[in-house]
Structure 1
Amino acid sequence: MDLSMSRASEPGVPASSALVRRAYRRQLLIGALALAMLAFATLVLLVEVQLNEEVEARYQQAISIALQSLDAHHLDSVSASVSARARQATEHSRFLNLIARYTLALVTLLAVSFGSVFGVLMWRAQTASREVMAALDRMAREDGLTGITNRRGLDEGLTIEVARARRSGLDLTVVMLDLDHFKRYNDRRGHGAGDSLLRNAAQAWRRQLRPTDLLARYGGEEFTLLLAACDADAACQLIERLRPLMPDRQTFSAGVATWEQHESPEQLLGRADRALLVAKKQGRNRTIVSGRESQMTLPLQTALGT
């Protein structure tokens, strides 16, 4: 098994997630601009109404002064004509103010209605966007065949667990598992049976793990266990509990490595992988712990067809 193998690329997932985020930001910007325009229109109408009221008040004051002046000079006919024209102007001004008020009320109602509808739509869009992005993130870290974590999720989880082990000082153990003679099984039973074997084994193993444990498909018929707060001996006990769960009396080989303080995640995974290679060279269906290569557990079963 080559540890230099690159991550399984899933180009559609990050691109789709980025498109969803950009579309959401675009909708938010359009809605914000529309609300800003409505708010500006409302402000303009409000200022216009206030100016009209001030103009009307000053106009009435000027008319009152003019009438007083006309009365003082006994120009009754002129005064009556001015009063009539003043009343007409006043009624016209009040009519315009009334229209402005109704327009202001309509614009305010539209702004409130549009804001409410926009808020509901944005809430629904945001909820849908979160669900889509969560689904995309899950797809990016889930193996499509077995339903367990894929290589991408393993790499991220291993980095996180190594950092946690460094802070806490607790043990961290990695187990590499490889199904014995899987190619032979595939050739005899067919690829459908091989896929079913991988899927059923992964699901059966996962039910035996703690919530803090991580089971990932490393690639092909290879799996990885990431066991936090677990030493090599406890990991070996867990491996022996997993062996009887293999479908069709199949077997697997295992390599175990416990993290050392100076190691990077890649180095830890590499030691587990080298221990797995030793287990396969020594006859398969056994567990080898890194640093204890001279010791090996006796196989519990004989591989089918061997």
Structure 2
Amino acid sequence: MTELKDTETRSWLEIELEDDMDEELEQAIDDARIPPELRALLETRKKSTLDRHTYFNELMRLQGELVKLQDWVRYKGLKMVVLCEGRDSAGKGGAIKRITQRVNPRNCRVVALPAPTDREKTQWYFQRYVPHLPAAGEIVLFDRSWYNRAGVERVMGFANEDQVEDFFRDVPEFERMLVRSGIILVKYWFSITDEEQQLRFLMRIHDPIKQWKLSPMDLQSRVRWEQYTRAKEAMFERTSIAEAPWHIVEGNDKKRARLNCIAHLLSVVPYEEVPHEEITLPERVFDPHYERRTLPAELYVPQRY
């Protein structure tokens, strides 16, 4: 009887693992959808040497550690901010998705602000970011951040050189203030080559499911590749401070980039496993006088599958 129960338990655990794998595989298949127009071009692309089995196993192991990190942040009342910057299509969103995939969204949230409103343009530049900073026990990931001023706003002419210079003067002190307030500030730059960005943009153009990711601003980023490069170099030089240095994630290989980013993030905070009380599922209370009603058939979603 015990042997049968162990077999059933292993099967149940395997089923749960397969469900998790299927969820991740669904996203991987989406990333790998190749329009016919690009098959020839993709033949010249450097293939990843990271096999799928290793990727999935490492991803789930690291995501398990992220859950422990989040528990530790809550347990100790820490405050954590993770900035994700990089060129368009560099893989920021994919990495953020994997970081947040299995943690508690109540205490780990993503901030992706739209272009500033006319009112926000008249405010102190950092003002619209401040309300999104974490309270104790929270992790906040910024999908693009106040560094828009050093990148897209500078290159596209949305900020003049005086405003950019003010930003470079102010941002180190702003970030030192955040760190002094107890915030753990981690800054990532996702880096890809010119050729890889071109390929990813072409995939978006030819793939109807991904066309929403391509904006007129993205197209301009191709035209102004070298201007973005110079802006990035100036940003690193003037804003990589001891309290909050930049960390560059090589992003041509998406899977390696995700794993490397998560592994590094886990190394930033010396976390420990938080002790939890053993959870016992309580018995359901049955009311012998309650009779479950039969609901009208039209309330149910049709079972097409």
Question: What's the TM-score once normalised by structure 2's chain length?
Answer: 0.24
| Between structures 1 and 2, the one with greater helix share | 1
Q: With a CA cutoff of 8 Å and minimum separation of 6, indicate the structure with the bigger relative contact order.
A: 2
Question: Which structure has the larger Rg?
Answer: 1
Give the TM-score normalised by the residue count of structure 1. Answer: 0.24
